[in-house]
Amino acid sequence: MKAKAPKFLGFVIILLFALSAANTARATGVTTTVTAGSNPVGVAYDPATHQVFVANYQSDDVQIFSDSTNAVVADITGLPGVYDLAYDSGKAEMWVTGGTEVYAISDATRAIVGNITADLLPNLTRIAYDSGKGELFVSASVYDVPTPDVVQVISDSTYKVVDNITTQTPFAMVYDSAKGEIFLSQSNGQVGGANVAVISDATNSVSTTIPVSTTGFLAYDSAKGEIFAQTGSTVTVISDSTNKVVATVSGVTFGWEGSLAYDSGKGEIYMNGENQVEVISDSTNTVIGTWSTGFAQPTDIAYDSGTGEVFAANSLIPGVVAVISDSSSGTSVSATSSVSPTSTTASPTSSSPTTTSNTATATPSTSSQASSTSLSFSYLLLVAATSGVILSLTLVSLRKTKIRA
């Protein structure tokens, strides 16, 4: 009879562990999903107004979402081929590339306040904002044909092209505020020809190039002074003080259009990969967690410093944007679209930019986060109650064992 007490205690431990694991599995990362337009390829956060801008390439519009309600507060239509976004903190404007145009959108009026027709680039794609000079750097994608080997510099005060920088098949760009430099991933079209070019914003010229395995997206880590470069199934870490590769992060999934975002609050890099968002610690340069999204066509990703959330887009028709809480790094969760995909949204017939304010095409439910919290609390109560019952039964069992002994 004395052997039954240890067995019973073992059962208690196993049961408590199972309940605890069940509670952990219900921690949520993806709090909701919102429906965007057709083929969302650009996402950017506006910290001044706490809004998220989404550029929809196929439906030719830019949607503006409130990060407090995740609802659409404006939809700017008639922008052919909008692609990439960059927030101009000096002018409180959001810039977006589209075809042969670059548009400036006021975040106060949600209207277009300026546009530039590029004189050299037939297909404008990537854009980065230089807060030190008040300039925009604009390039064409490596996938465009013909591929112009140039990056244009635009003044945000005059809305004019002020310089052209010769490059080799430019792709993605990011601004390093500490060094006053633009980091540009590029390729000469040959095997082993990929590199990250360092452009000085003082001279508007390439000062050096850093060889990498392949061309990919970039993110700037202001706390570490490092550039994280997507290089296929790895992420390459570059020091901006030495312009040398200091680490390689393995274990990431390759997403053809999946990009990177830096979380200044947690010191983490997020990569919008195929079917999941990977979380990379900038202190260990390792993948510390994943968030399952089910996104087969991941595109852009942006970090919202106001809410501590990540907005990850998927190029569906209509597009889907997952809203992820950064407080759950390391938990594996699934994103479920709140709206079933429907037919392709018709492109606007008018070529002149117009601005319209409307309600959300889909008002996402905010109950998922609340229900998750309630569920977690319920499990805590269940664990506590179960523990009390089991403890009582254990004491009774031990008492009986002692008496019979």
Contact 51, 31 (CB under 8 A): no
Q: Give Cα 206 to chain centroid, integer Å.
A: 28
Whether the pLDDT of residue 333 is over 70: the answer is no
The per-residue pLDDT for 351 is 34
Q: Is the pLDDT of residue 352 over 70?
A: no
**32-36, 361-365, 381-385 — most confident range:** 32-36
Residues 73 and 12 in one domain: no
pLDDT at 20 over 90: no
Distance CA 294, CA 172 (A): 24
Phi-psi region of 192 (alpha: psi -120 to 50; beta: other; left: phi over 0): left
For residue 317, pLDDT beyond 60 = yes
Helix (H, G, I), strand (E, B) or coil at 399: helix
**CA dihedral of 95, 103, 320, 279, whole degrees rounded to 10:** -20
**Whole domain around residue 337: which residue ranges?**
36-365
Q: Which CATH number covers residue 132?
A: 2.130.10.10
Verify that 25 and 49 share a domain, yes or no: no
Same domain assignment for residues 354 and 390: no
Residues 391, 314 share a domain: no
Residue 355 has what pLDDT? 36
**Domain check: are 64 and 197 in the same one?**
yes
Q: pLDDT (tens digit, 9 = 90+) per residue, 238-259?
A: 999 999 999 999 988 876 677 9
Number of Cβ within 10 Å of residue 1's Cβ equals 10
What is the token pair recorded at 219? Answer: 């993110």
Provide the 10 A C-beta neighbour count for residue 187.
Answer: 19
pTM for this structure? 0.75
Asked whether residue 66 falls in the same domain as residue 7, the answer is no
Q: Give the alpha-carbon dihedral of 369, 374, 379, 385, to 10 degrees.
A: 170
Q: Are residues 16 and 123 in the same domain?
A: no
Tell me what the mean pLDDT of segment 4-30 comes to: 41
Separation in Å, CA 186 to CA 41, 127, 206, 243: 19, 14, 12, 15
DSSP sequence for 184-225: EEEE-SSTT-EEEEEEETTTTEEEEEEE-SS---EEEETTTT
Q: How far is CA 360 from CA 34, 69, 70, 255, 405, in A?
A: 9, 10, 9, 28, 72
* Residue 260 and residue 129 in one domain: yes
Q: How many structural domains are present in the chain?
A: 2
Residues 132 and 8 in one domain: no
pLDDT at 119: 59
Same domain membership, residue 255 and residue 237: yes
Please indicate, yes or no, whether residues 159 and 255 belong to a single structural domain of this protein: yes
Mean predicted confidence (pLDDT) in 55-81 = 96
Q: Do residues 306 and 289 touch, judged by C-beta distance below 8 A?
A: no
pLDDT in tens, 141-174: 555 555 557 899 999 999 999 998 988 888 899 9
| Measured distance CA(361)–CA(393) in Å, rounded | 55
Residues 18 and 148 in one domain: no
Mean pLDDT, the chain, whole residue set: 77
* Rounded CA Rg of the chain: 25
- Shortest CA distance to 84 belongs to which of 301, 233, 248, 251? 301
> What DSSP assignment string belongs to 304-358?
ETTTTEEEEEE--SS-EEEEEEGGGTT-------SS---SPPPPPS--S-EEE--
When mean pLDDT is compared across 22-36, 111-125, 207-221, 250-264, the lowest value belongs to 22-36
Q: Compute the distance between CA of residue 80 and CA of residue 365 in angstroms, rounded to an integer.
A: 31
Torsion of CA 204, 206, 210, 212, to 10 degrees: 80
